[in-house]
Structure 1
Amino acid sequence: LPSEQWFDVPGRFGVYSAYTDTVIYARYRNVSALNLELYQVSQAEFVELIGREGWQSWERAVPVRSAPIRTWSVPVDKPLNEAGLIRLPLASEEGGAPSTLGAPSTPGALPPGIYLVRITSPEQSQNDFAGITRHLVVVANTNLTLKGAERELLVWATDLQSGREAAGVPVTLFNDVGEQVAAGSTDGAGLFKAQFENDRDVFRTWSAVIGAPSTLGAPFGIALSDWNQGIGPWDFGVNAQFFYEPHSVYFYTEKPLYRPGQTVHFKGIVRLDDDARYSVDPNLKQVEFSIIDALFNTVYTATLPVDEYGAFYTDFTLDAEASLGYYQMTAQIPGRTPDFAEPQLRFYNSTFLVSEYRRPEFQVTVTPGAAEVLQGDTIEVTVEASYFFGGNVGGAKVAWTAVAQNYFFDRYRGAGYYSFNDADFFSPGPGGGSVLASGEGQTDAQGQFKITLPAQLDEKTGSQRFSIEANVTDLSDQIVSNRVEVIVHQGRYYIGVAPVDYVGVAGREMAFNLRTVDWQGEPLSNQQLDVVYYKRDWFSVQQKDDFGNVYWTSSFSDTAVFTTTAATDEQGEGVTAFTPPVGGEYRVVASGVDDRGNAIRAASYVWVSSRDYVAWRQDNNDRISLVADKKAYDIGETARILVPSPYQGAVRALVTVERGRILDARVIDLLTNSDVIEIPITPDM
């Protein structure tokens, strides 16, 4: 294997606390020593290195202009082809800063500032051969939280050791070409907000710098607008996009697949998109529309009028010898664009497929005796093959497979958000996608083949969706497939559980609505239910891997703290309640039995705030999963949001309400690790 060495870091640069030893890890293979160089980097150079044209500096072996402030070599010895990992302190051999620097905040730490560290070896001097060999090290005593929106940037500055806000310190914002775009000072809460007249190109990296690295003892920190690893919207299950689009455009054709010579019927709908507020654009009268084939040839262009409803449409007939593959439809619409004073053309795309497919000579239908059955019943399916011109396909080979998937009941259409399932995503158990049965046979003289299998749920805790697929092969070896789904219900009815509030307070009663419905979601009256309230206790411990890295492992146990009975009335409605004794997470399980003896269960969860410390689940990320007291809100209501904080004792917290813009920002005290904050639901949301 080749000789190689690289820093074990997630990216080209990182922030390191000035209150701990400045250490970096490196990996190596087939080298005798690691040679290191440490450079001091000016603020102007740093902004240049991370900017749009920074790649030009990184083309040089040493992308900074200064001489190294420290050089040293570390001998290493590993067997041939065996990889090694080593911990490398960046301060001097004596445990402090190099003599050219001032006193650090902590022995073993570099003073606050910006540095470049480079690693080579006698056997391999090539830059970035197997990984990052040049790393920007930002040693900071102040943490910066940087939030960006279309026309604003928000900075929150806190001390890395105490967590207190850094008030009254200078903040400078730079764009990706090193230009200063805003400056000011943090307020008493450590906040600084910059507003911009024009939209900001969020694809470009902007930076926030607080203080100056040369000022010993003063606050210093850096943050970039694209630092979002592990804390992006999608990490919280939130759909988001980072680019600004003035319009929202939806394309559709009457079908996704065409043959050469067929006519494509197309329609598009355009709306102005002002942070999820949609309207017809009164100034948009036409769009430039084009179609590109699979060989990237333009096969259609037109200027299409936009009607009063914001729609445009056209028909396009494919050539009889049209190329096969995906065709791209493009609409060009002028719109407001960052960095441009005049509207620029924006491109919106969709596709359809052109394929020269062979039409089958026969068709296959797969028909169940019943589309829905009760567990314990028998599923009967008829496979029938018939020619399009008439007649049955007898003696054809049939291969079939039955697969089970979890079925989550969703047919209730009444008021409220009910959980009709007993799904616990933290408990290992049988899931979907398992093959239940398979077999082979032949169609009879009528072109039919019968499949019979038991509707057994076995150890599965909920209803299932059985998918039965049949592949029929005729005498010419042509295969035609079809499938059908049969729902296997766990019982004759479903139970729904809906907390009145998902967030409660220890010692205060919490109410739950119950509902029993039939398979179609209609009320089923007078059902007797058992309700058990479980307290879920999380046990999270830190462990070390072979390289000394610390990580969390979590497990839980459920303890029944209250048991009661309930009944639904003539409308299939019921209520139950309990008083949580302590804070934490609770699982509420309602169960019943039908006239066949089938057990039916449904569960929901609530979270309870307390003055005492609550041991929430600890994960290996920097995320706090907020819990809202309701699924949906109306204007004028107030959302109560529980904050399951990992910190013990009182802390300060930045609370923002945001979508495409930062609607509100405030710093508050969290007195416990289960505080509930209130967010008014206002018309501007």
Structure 2
Amino acid sequence: MLNKGLFLACALALLSACDSSTPDTPAAGAAPVTQAAVTEARPKPAVDLAALSKRYAGRELTVIDVSEIQVDGASTLSVSFSVPLDPEQNFGDKLHLVDSKNGKVDGAWELSDNLTELRLRHLEPQRKLVLTVDAGLLAVNKAKLAAEYISRLETRDLQATVGFASRGSLLPTRLAEGLPVIALNVDKVDVEFFRVKPDSMPNFLAQWDGASSLSSYSSEELLPMADLVYSGRFDLKPARNTRETVLLPIAGIKALQQPGVYLAVMRASGTYSYTQPATLFTLSDIGLSVHRYSNRLDVFTQALEGGKALGDVSVDVYDDNGKVVAQGKTDSDGHAQLPLPAKAAVVLAHKDEQTSMLRLNSSALDLAEFDISGPQAHPLQFFIFGPRDLYRPGETVLLNGLLRDSDGKSVKPQPITVEVRRPDDQVSRKFVWEADSSGFYQYQLQLAEEAPTGRWQLMFDLGDGKPQLYEFKVEDFLPERLALELKGSDTPVAPADDPQFDITGRYLYGAPASGNSLTGQVYVRPLREAVAKLPGYQFGSITEADLKHDLELEPVTLDAEGHATLSVKTEWAAAKSPLQLILQASLQESGGRPITRRLVQPIWPAEQLPGVRALFGSSTGGDDYDDEASKGEAQTNGDGPAEFEIVMADAAGNKLAADNVKVRLIRERRDYYWNYSADDGWSYHFNEKFLNLNEETLNITKDSTAKISFPVEWGPYRVEVEDPATGMISSLRFWAGYRWQDNTDGGAVRPDQVKLALDKPAYNDGDTATVTVTPPAAGKGYMLIESSEGPLWWKEIDVPAEGKSYEIPLDKQWARHDLYVTALVIRPGERKANITPNVP
């Protein structure tokens, strides 16, 4: 058997905490808070000014964008330039920001690492600002801003908000220093901490829906199930107009040192509302992970302090009503196997006073999303085949079958019970299928004259509880009696022209289909790969809108010779990108039964078009852009030059000469910012801008192409190629660097992922696979081989920061083709000394 491993990484529990100056003394009055994280100042990367000056030689310095963005949670003014700036000049002398109400805005301008952007932080909300950039601002290529630049903008409104950073937190008992809170212009908060009563835990969890707030109505039902153990005022004092994550210091509060499940309810001091920010958190040293399969749960418990497996942990599964539906206890390896009830909702793990919980309806890593090619694995497979899969009512369906194991090898024949299901999913009949002496299965299934048309199924179970299917169609069809020919233009038509098609219909015995009716539809779609002889080249603008059209044609009657001319009124005359028009025509027989044919007609906006192909990654040139998953979009593996190949071509695929072709690099920048509401909590929004970062001119000789490269950094880009003779533009989107959904398939890796790599692409039974585990930080955890039915092998691992290789014996008994290699590593928590900002 050939075992196939698919690589993925589970999210790490990266745990850290901070020192408390008064570890044993509760805070009196206003308790200071600590920053959730401190970003150490890092030296700027060395910039080769001479190389930059050479690269941008002769280019004009201009201001290409002025925007309000968020940097480290602070509203920031961003000014982007076409050429990197000379870092030695005093920017405060050249850039002036004035508030129309309060006059000059003070602050220090920060130059970005790539020297193309200046930033001024901590803008006041809802202010009308005027930015003036003086002429004479100097670039690295010695170019100067030719004229004074003035821009006006109004900053966004910033409502004072505060809320918990998470809807549920697991805090290690010995390392729990603070509860993360997100605050914007809120100096003080009052927080009440409730400890959920152990005997009320099931009912409390059943009623707590994981929301980010607690209403007065809900509090009447929930709070009686908990004890108020501490209340106090905390002094946040975040930086002005800056969304900051700070820690409420709970390590020094004795009332919050007992392990358990807590509810924290918070409000900005001096405010009262119907709903208050709230969160559920747990003080526990039990790290809990659950692998969910079709009929079972596999639970693993580890110590958050040190990462070792925890045994003898009781595990209870509750439904939405707080009723226990399954129970178990972990063994010495920290593993427990439980049945999966249909209504399972919450898993509780507890040992002594330690309790950890996990909601089964929360976000999870679905291994099924990591595709393994081929059909679903079965211990036995029944291959059914026949001479055809389309039958008329009343005919006999000829069926043949072969019974094989999961590797396709012969097995001893056995009787197989088969259900025949109609298109309405009703069972038509059942029969037991027996093999002949050679192990070959044959069966003749007689269909009734009145058998319903549609998709029929043979369903059978070979003992693994997973039904297998074979499908065939039943249709009341007759042989075609008509021939239909569609003919368009041999060359692409212009968007402004009405496409015309010659229609010819005749009976197969020779007579013309005179008087027969023709109906049809027209579908117009972008044609990105418009030249078959130039695969991979993209033509047309990917940003052009309104290129999709669906039209229903008026019926046409064929003349005495069986001919007709079909003219389609153009609705895409303004298109600047190549299109394909798909004509779908149906010719009716005298009895009303149609035959249908299709024809594709290219549409070109010019005699010649520029094309662009990325010399990295892959690209199918989808016409829709989706920041979360731009399928088919080209992607580089990291920062560095992105290279492209440019061609000028006609529809026949001839490579033409062109002079002064413009090639632009455009940054598709999304400026994200946070917004808070009582209903939705914190939500992410963005403003989108397209920044022209670079423009080059190149010449293309006949029968050849030209190459060009641009330096890029992480993020989304678009490269545009413009033909100066016609103004036609072709463009291609690409992404530089890793993407958040990237996995460890040889490409970029998310910074919080464990990278897994096998020593071979495939293995035979009995082989030993070597898996290299590379975590973002040293830690302990476990590695599993699992199938869709459950884990087959696992091992506790202790991984250093530089990574480590482990051997996995591939048991011959597994005999599966749906194996996954998964790993989870917990970085041990540690105390970190963080600064305390704004302490009164």
**TM-score in terms of structure 2 length:** 0.48
Amino acid at match of 1:429: A
Pick closer, same or farther for the CA change 1:271–1:573 going to 2, 3 Å.
Answer: farther
Cα distance in 1 between the residues matched to 2:261 and 2:314: 17
Match of 1:212 in 2: 351
Match of 2:80 in 1: none
Cα distance in 2 between the residues matched to 1:269 and 1:16: 54
Residue 605 of structure 1 and its aligned partner are, at CA, apart by 0.7
Q: Does 1:180 align with 2:338?
A: no
Contact 1:399 1:441 in 2 (8 A): yes
Cα distance in 2 between the residues matched to 1:108 and 1:459: 71
Pick closer, same or farther for the CA change 1:554–1:346 going to 2, 3 Å.
Answer: same
Paired residues in the alignment total 519
Listed as ranges, the matches of 1:12-23 within 5 Å are none
Question: Aligned residues: percent identity?
Answer: 10
SS of 1:541's equivalent in the other structure is strand
Cα distance in 2 between the residues matched to 1:516 and 1:412: 14
Pick the aligned partner of 2:357 from 206, 215, 222. Answer: 222
Which structure would you say has the larger Rg?
Answer: 2
Cα distance in 2 between the residues matched to 1:140 and 1:384: 79
Cα distance in 2 between the residues matched to 1:601 and 1:368: 29
Pick the aligned partner of 2:748 from 636, 641, 662. Answer: 641
Contact 1:465 1:485 in 2 (8 A): no
Match of 1:232 in 2: 366
Query: How large is the RMSD of aligned CA atoms in angstroms?
Result: 5.9
Match of 1:70 in 2: none
Match of 1:34 in 2: none
Contact 1:253 1:267 in 2 (8 A): yes
SS of 2:515's equivalent in the other structure is coil
Pick closer, same or farther for the CA change 1:380–1:410 going to 2, 3 Å.
Answer: closer
Residue 371 of structure 1 and its aligned partner are, at CA, apart by 7.1
Cα distance in 1 between the residues matched to 2:648 and 2:526: 20
Higher relative CO (Cα under 8 Å, sequence separation at least 6) belongs to 2
Residue 451 of structure 1 and its aligned partner are, at CA, apart by 0.7
Residue 89 of structure 1 and its aligned partner are, at CA, apart by 9.1
Match of 1:541 in 2: 673
Q: Tell me the alpha carbon deviations over residues 11-56 of structure 1, each in whole angstroms, 9 at most, x when there is no partner.
A: xxx956676699xxxxxxxxxxxxxx9863599x79xx99xxxxxx
Contact 1:499 1:606 in 2 (8 A): no
SS of 1:298's equivalent in the other structure is strand
Match of 1:402 in 2: 522
Cα distance in 2 between the residues matched to 1:298 and 1:642: 53
The farther-off stretch of 445-454 and 377-386 is: 377-386
Residue 577 of structure 1 and its aligned partner are, at CA, apart by 1.3
Amino acid at match of 2:366: G
Match of 1:80 in 2: none
Match of 1:564 in 2: 696
Pick the aligned partner of 2:409 from 281, 284, 299. Answer: 281
Pick closer, same or farther for the CA change 1:280–1:211 going to 2, 3 Å.
Answer: same
Q: Does 1:328 align with 2:466?
A: no
Match of 2:584 in 1: 469
Residue 259 of structure 1 and its aligned partner are, at CA, apart by 1.1
Contact 2:261 2:281 in 1 (8 A): yes
Contact 2:757 2:773 in 1 (8 A): yes
Residue 532 of structure 1 and its aligned partner are, at CA, apart by 1.8
Q: Does 1:449 align with 2:567?
A: no
Contact 2:610 2:721 in 1 (8 A): no
Amino acid at match of 1:221: S
Pick the aligned partner of 2:484 from 365, 371, 387. Answer: 365
Pick the aligned partner of 1:498 from 614, 620, 632. Answer: 614
Pick closer, same or farther for the CA change 1:312–1:399 going to 2, 3 Å.
Answer: same
Q: Does 1:382 align with 2:493?
A: no
Cα distance in 2 between the residues matched to 1:445 and 1:147: 71
Match of 1:485 in 2: 599
Residue 561 of structure 1 and its aligned partner are, at CA, apart by 1.5
Match of 1:577 in 2: 709
Pick closer, same or farther for the CA change 1:408–1:577 going to 2, 3 Å.
Answer: closer
Pick the aligned partner of 1:170 from 310, 319, 343. Answer: 310
Contact 2:415 2:435 in 1 (8 A): yes
Contact 2:482 2:508 in 1 (8 A): yes
Residue 272 of structure 1 and its aligned partner are, at CA, apart by 6.0
Contact 2:773 2:803 in 1 (8 A): no
Pick closer, same or farther for the CA change 1:203–1:428 going to 2, 3 Å.
Answer: farther
Cα distance in 2 between the residues matched to 1:533 and 1:40: 61
Q: Tell me the alpha carbon deviations over residues 244-288 of structure 1, each in whole angstroms, 9 at most, x when there is no partner.
A: 644677766665542123343556688766xxxxx4234466773
Match of 2:538 in 1: 420
Cα distance in 1 between the residues matched to 2:374 and 2:329: 26
Pick closer, same or farther for the CA change 1:431–1:550 going to 2, 3 Å.
Answer: farther
Q: Does 1:607 align with 2:736?
A: yes
Q: Tell me the alpha carbon deviations over residues 65-85 of structure 1, each in whole angstroms, 9 at most, x when there is no partner.
A: xxxxxxxx9986xxxxxxxxx
Match of 2:546 in 1: 430
Contact 2:229 2:256 in 1 (8 A): yes
Amino acid at match of 1:292: V
Match of 1:337 in 2: none
Pick closer, same or farther for the CA change 1:317–1:386 going to 2, 3 Å.
Answer: farther
Amino acid at match of 1:500: F
Contact 1:288 1:302 in 2 (8 A): yes
Contact 1:527 1:567 in 2 (8 A): yes
SS of 1:561's equivalent in the other structure is strand
SS of 2:467's equivalent in the other structure is strand
Cα distance in 1 between the residues matched to 2:394 and 2:444: 13
Q: Does 1:351 align with 2:471?
A: yes
Pick the aligned partner of 2:228 from 85, 96, 105. Answer: 96
Amino acid at match of 2:550: V
Amino acid at match of 1:448: H
Residue 560 of structure 1 and its aligned partner are, at CA, apart by 1.8
Residue 222 of structure 1 and its aligned partner are, at CA, apart by 2.9
Q: Does 1:258 align with 2:391?
A: yes
Residue 179 of structure 1 and its aligned partner are, at CA, apart by 2.9
Match of 2:718 in 1: 587
Amino acid at match of 1:531: V
Pick closer, same or farther for the CA change 1:403–1:114 going to 2, 3 Å.
Answer: same
Cα distance in 2 between the residues matched to 1:459 and 1:237: 42
Cα distance in 2 between the residues matched to 1:213 and 1:423: 65
Pick the aligned partner of 1:40 from 174, 198, 209. Answer: 198
SS of 2:553's equivalent in the other structure is strand
Q: Tell me the alpha carbon deviations over residues 283-334 of structure 1, each in whole angstroms, 9 at most, x when there is no partner.
A: 46677373514241326543357999xx977664534454555422235445
Amino acid at match of 1:626: D
Contact 1:535 1:587 in 2 (8 A): yes
Pick closer, same or farther for the CA change 1:361–1:269 going to 2, 3 Å.
Answer: closer
Pick closer, same or farther for the CA change 1:212–1:291 going to 2, 3 Å.
Answer: closer
Contact 1:257 1:355 in 2 (8 A): yes
Listed as ranges, the matches of 1:520-531 within 5 Å are 524=655, 529-531=661-663
Q: Tell me the alpha carbon deviations over residues 434-456 of structure 1, each in whole angstroms, 9 at most, x when there is no partner.
A: 23463343221123321123677
Contact 1:17 1:140 in 2 (8 A): yes
Pick the aligned partner of 1:550 from 678, 682, 706. Answer: 682
Listed as ranges, the matches of 1:74-223 within 5 Å are 90-91=222-223, 96-97=228-229, 113=260, 139=282, 144=288, 146=290, 167-168=307-308, 170=310, 172=313, 177-180=326-329, 182-184=331-333, 212=351, 214-215=353-354, 220-223=355-358
Q: Where does the alignment leave 5 or more consecutive residues of structure 2 unmatched?
A: 1-166, 172-177, 182-194, 208-213, 232-248, 264-278, 318-325, 618-634, 763-768, 779-801, 811-820, 822-840
Contact 2:405 2:411 in 1 (8 A): no
SS of 1:395's equivalent in the other structure is coil
Contact 1:201 1:243 in 2 (8 A): no
